């Protein structure tokens, strides 16, 4: 408990899955949480049960103006910003030959430009604080080609987030701003369920033989725990690192 006491955290994509789980966990650990999503009705509904200091804001992560507004509103309400969790992202399953320019641009905007805008918006506030922690959600698709499920633009975008995270970790280390990345493997989320995966057991069965560690699939909590470690002062000497949470998939 209280691993994030007195810290202010912004979490994107918080209406479901890993972002929602992180919001629950961060509040439990003492943070003041700004939960953001484009699906505001859903966000407001699912966060009602969270017992702690949490506010909800609409955020289209591809909008520079909305990013700026969220930052300003957060600073006005809580006085500072300590943590940014760039969790939001969307995968479109089109191969390199199937993808259109429109689809390519959409995926790059949602998965890479969004992270650029988030970091660019929050870093001045963190500099003002004398430090902070940014955690970017990447993907195994940025590491191993078999993990992208045919999603060429998504893999390229996540590869960009990987490189951008490294860049930021070096260029803002002197400001005591840490930038780290999480690499989820097979994780049961709302997105997985929308693709017909009905349970953790079903997802695990699909990856048996690919992922060595039973039950062969992870949960949103596994990722939220990673976010928590990298957001907290427990990782105060950690930056530019890649925390892979995949049950050994990439090692195999």
In three-state secondary structure terms, 80 is coil
Task: Report how far apart, in Å, the C-alpha atoms of 122 and of each of 43, 86, 146 are.
Answer: 22, 11, 33
* Residue 196 included in any domain: no
* Residue 212 included in any domain: no
* Residue 128 included in any domain: yes
Q: Which residues pair with 245 in a beta bridge?
A: 184
Q: What is the CATH number of the domain that holds 46?
A: 3.40.50.720
User: Helix 114-129 crosses helix 64-78 at what angle (to 10 degrees)?
Assistant: 30
Model pLDDT, residue 191: 65
Model pLDDT, residue 199: 77
pTM of the model: 0.95
* Residue 209 included in any domain: no
* Residue 206 included in any domain: no
Determine the structural domain holding residue 234 and report its residue range. 8-187+219-245
Number of domains in the chain: 1
What is the set of active-site residues?
A: 154
* Residue 60 included in any domain: yes
Task: Report how far apart, in Å, the C-alpha atoms of 102 and of each of 92, 96, 98 are.
Answer: 12, 13, 12
Reading the block at residue 69, the tokens are 């507004």
| pLDDT (tens place) for every residue of the chain, 252 residues total | 799 999 999 999 999 999 999 999 999 999 999 999 999 999 999 999 899 999 999 999 999 999 999 999 999 999 999 999 999 999 888 999 999 999 999 999 999 999 999 999 999 999 999 999 999 999 999 999 877 778 999 999 999 999 999 999 999 999 999 999 999 999 987 666 665 677 778 888 888 999 999 999 999 999 999 999 999 999 999 999 999 999 999 998
Model pLDDT, residue 190: 65
Q: Which residues pair with 243 in a beta bridge?
A: 182
Greatest pairwise CA separation for the chain in angstroms: 51
* Residue 182 included in any domain: yes
Model pLDDT, residue 114: 98
Model pLDDT, residue 194: 63
Model pLDDT, residue 204: 87
* Residue 163 included in any domain: yes
């Amino acid at each position: 408990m209280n691993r994030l006491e007195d810290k202010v955290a912004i979490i994107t994509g918080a209406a479901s899955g890993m972002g929602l789980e992180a919001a629950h966990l961060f509040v439990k650990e003492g943070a003041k949480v700004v939960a953001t999503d484009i699906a505001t009705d859903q966000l407001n509904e699912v966060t009602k049960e969270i017992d702690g200091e949490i506010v909800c804001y609409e955020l289209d992560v591809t909008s520079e103006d909305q990013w700026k507004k969220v930052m300003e509103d957060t600073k006005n309400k809580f006085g500072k910003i300590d943590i940014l969790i760039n969790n939001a992202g969307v995968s479109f399953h089109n191969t390199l030959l199937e993808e259109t320019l429109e689809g390519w641009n959409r995926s790059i905007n949602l998965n890479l430009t969004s992270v650029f805008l988030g970091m660019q918006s929050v870093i001045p506030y963190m500099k003002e604080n004398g430090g902070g922690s940014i955690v970017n959600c990447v993907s195994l698709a940025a590491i191993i080609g078999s993990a992208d499920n045919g999603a060429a633009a998504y893999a390229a975008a996540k590869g960009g987030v990987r490189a951008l995270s490294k860049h930021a970790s070096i260029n803002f280390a002197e400001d005591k701003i840490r930038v780290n990345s999480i690499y989820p493997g097979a994780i049961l989320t709302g997105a997985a369920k929308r693709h017909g995966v009905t349970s953790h057991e079903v997802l695990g069965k699909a990856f048996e033989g690919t992922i060595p560690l039973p039950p062969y699939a992870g949960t949103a909590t596994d990722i939220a725990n990673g976010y928590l470690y990298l957001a907290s002062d427990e990782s105060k000497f950690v930056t530019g690192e890649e925390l892979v949470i995949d049950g050994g998939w990439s090692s195999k």
